[in-house]
Amino acid sequence: MKNLKLELFNFVRSLNLDQEEISTIVNSHMGALGRVSEKQVISSLNESLKIHTYDKSVRNLLESLNDDVANHSLIYELKHLYNVLNSKNQGELYRQPINVVLEVINMEADQDRLGKIVNELAIYDWVPEIKLFVHNLTKSPEQRSNLLSGGSSESIYTIVEQVEGGYCAYINGSWFLLTEGGVEKTLLENWIKNDEDLRVLRNIETGLRYSMIHEDRINFRISENLTIGLSVANEGLIYINDDKMNKETTLETLFQSPIIPIANKNFYPILLETQKNIDKFVELDVVKRVTNLVNPYLECFVFNYKAGNYVYRCDQRYGNSFYKYDTALELVNEIKNELNSDLTYFFENKLDKEIVKNRRLEDKEREITLKLEDVNINLSKINNSLRVTGESKVLLEARKNLSKRKEHLEEELMAVKEVKSSNKYRM
C-alpha cells in the first residue's frame, strides 16, 4: 500500500509554475489527511482533478492511486472505518471496537485480516458502521462461504482455446475438453492439428506455469528483484514491479536494456508469445479451485458445466484423478467433508430448492450461535469488571447494549430453528 502523503508530496514537488492550480488542489487534499480517510481523499482527488486529466502527470497520479485502492481495497476500507468510528467516539464508547480495527489493519495478510474480522470485529455489530462493513464484506456468496468455512474456493484464470465442437481449457497442468456432452480430460494434440497453433499454445502454457495471475495482470518473476506484468485488460500495457510503464515501452526494448539480467533473456519469447495471445486468457466461470490449509497436499478443481458435475483431484501424494458425479449434492457433500468448503452457492442451479434453503438456514444458525457465544463472553467480562471496580457509566451502558443484543440474537435463533424444523427432508 502506498504512503499517500509521500506520494502527494512528491507529486506537488514535481509540478512547475504553470501547474499552480493543480498544486493548490493537491495541497488542500494533503492537508485533509488525518481528518478524513485516505479513501475519501483519493475519491475527492478523482473529482477535483477530473478537469485536469489532459495533463499526463495528473493522469498517471490518479491511475496509480486508483490501482492501489483496487489492489489493497480491504486496507483502505478498514482505515476508512477506523476514521468514521474515531470521529464518532464520544465518551470512549467505541474504544474497544476501534482497537480491534487497528489490530486488523496491522496484520500482514488479507486472509488473517478476514479471519479476525469474522471472529472478533463482527461481534461489535451493534455499531451500525461495523455492521454495514461486515455485511458489505460478505455480500458475495463465495466470500461468505470462504469466511465461514475452513476451506476456500476461488475462480481460476487460465488459457481457453476454441476448437471444433467446444473449448479446450488448461487446468493445473492438464487440458480439458468442454462440449455440449460434458467435460473430458484430453490431449491438446487431439484437437489442435495445425503445428503453428500447437506451438503457440505450448508456449503460452509454459508462460502460465512460470507466472502468477494477479487482478488483471499476468506477472512473471524474472529475477529476485524484478517482476514484469502484462495487462489483460489493456493490451500492450507493461508493468515493472507494479509500476505502469508508458506506451512506448515494449518487451523488445525492455529485454534489450540492462534492466534484464543476461541469464534471464530467455524469458523473452515466452513473454512475447503470451502478450500476443493475451485474449486466450480468460476467467473460467464454470470451474472453482478448492483448497484448505489443513490439507496442503490436496487441491480440487470443481466443474459445474452443462448437466455434468466433475472434480479434478490433484493430490501430491497419490497423483491426479478425474471424477464425474451423478448428483451435485454428492459432490458438494464430499468437498464439504474433505476440504471443509461449502460449494452450495456454486451448484444452486442444480441442487433442490429445499436443500439450498436448509443449508442457508444451517449457516444462519451457526452464525447466530457464534455471535451469541461471543456476546455471552463479553457480558461475563463486563460483569466481572463491575464487581471489581464498582459501578461505571460506560460499562453499564455497554452491558445494557450487549443484553439487548443477546435478546435479539436469541429471538432470531429461535425463529431460524422453527423455520428449519418445518422444512426437514429425507436424504
Whether 83 is covered by a domain: the verdict is yes
| Domain boundary, last residue among 292, 321, 343 | 343
Return the amino acid letter for 172.
N
82 grid coordinates: 477506523
d(CA 355, CA 345): 11
Measured on CA atoms in the order 243, 247, 248, 250, is the torsion positive or negative? positive
* Model pLDDT, residue 427: 25
Looking at the structure, tell me whether residues 11 and 117 fall in a common domain.
no
Return the amino acid letter for 24.
T
**Residue entry with cell 534492466:** 259
Looking at the structure, tell me whether residues 216 and 292 fall in a common domain.
yes
- On whether the CB atoms of residues 340 and 292 are closer than 8 A, the answer is yes
Angle at 82 between CA 76 and CA 87, to 5 degrees: 130
Looking at the structure, tell me whether residues 329 and 371 fall in a common domain.
no
33 grid coordinates: 489527511
Looking at the structure, tell me whether residues 132 and 203 fall in a common domain.
no
Looking at the structure, tell me whether residues 293 and 193 fall in a common domain.
yes
Looking at the structure, tell me whether residues 336 and 286 fall in a common domain.
yes
pLDDT band at 298 (very low <50, low <70, confident <90, very high): very high
pLDDT in tens, 102-121: 888 888 877 778 778 877 88
Looking at the structure, tell me whether residues 277 and 399 fall in a common domain.
no
State the chain's mean pLDDT as an integer: 85
**Residue entry with cell 474433505:** 338
Looking at the structure, tell me whether residues 55 and 199 fall in a common domain.
no
Looking at the structure, tell me whether residues 253 and 399 fall in a common domain.
no
Number of domains in the chain: 4
Q: Does 322 score more than 90 pLDDT?
A: yes
d(CA 361, CA 364): 5
φ, ψ at 269 (rounded to 5°): -60, -30
Candidates 241, 228, 308, 302; CA nearest to 272 is: 228
Going by the DSSP 8-state scheme, the letter that residue 3 receives in this structure is -
Task: Determine the average pLDDT of the residues in 22-26.
Answer: 89
Domain of 30 in residue numbering reads as: 4-71
Measured on CA atoms in the order 411, 412, 413, 415, is the torsion positive or negative? positive
Whether 272 is covered by a domain: the verdict is yes
Task: Determine the average pLDDT of the residues in 302-311.
Answer: 92
Q: Does 176 score more than 90 pLDDT?
A: yes
CB atoms near residue 258 (< 10 Å): 6
Looking at the structure, tell me whether residues 65 and 87 fall in a common domain.
no
Whether 427 is covered by a domain: the verdict is no
pTM of the model as a whole: 0.58
Looking at the structure, tell me whether residues 106 and 83 fall in a common domain.
yes
Whether 243 is covered by a domain: the verdict is yes
| Domain boundary, last residue among 343, 372, 398 | 343
d(CA 350, CA 277): 35
pLDDT: which is higher, 188 or 360: 188
Q: How far is CA 6 from CA 12, 26, 98, in A?
A: 10, 12, 25
Return the amino acid letter for 211.
S
Whether 145 is covered by a domain: the verdict is no
Strand, coil or helix: what is 124? Answer: helix
The terminus-to-terminus CA distance of the chain in angstroms comes to 49
Q: Does 323 score more than 90 pLDDT?
A: yes
Strand, coil or helix: what is 364? Answer: helix
Q: What is the dihedral of CA 17, 21, 26, 32, to 10 degrees?
A: 130
- On whether the CB atoms of residues 322 and 186 are closer than 8 A, the answer is no
| Domain boundary, last residue among 29, 56, 71 | 71
pLDDT band at 425 (very low <50, low <70, confident <90, very high): very low
Looking at the structure, tell me whether residues 190 and 295 fall in a common domain.
yes
Whether 348 is covered by a domain: the verdict is no
Contacts of 228 (CB under 8 A, 6+ apart): 219, 220, 222, 238, 239, 240, 254, 267, 271
d(CA 333, CA 331): 5
φ, ψ at 196 (rounded to 5°): -70, -45
pLDDT band at 361 (very low <50, low <70, confident <90, very high): confident
For the chain, the residue count is 427
pLDDT band at 167 (very low <50, low <70, confident <90, very high): very high
Whether 27 is covered by a domain: the verdict is yes
- Cα 209 versus chain centre, distance: 22
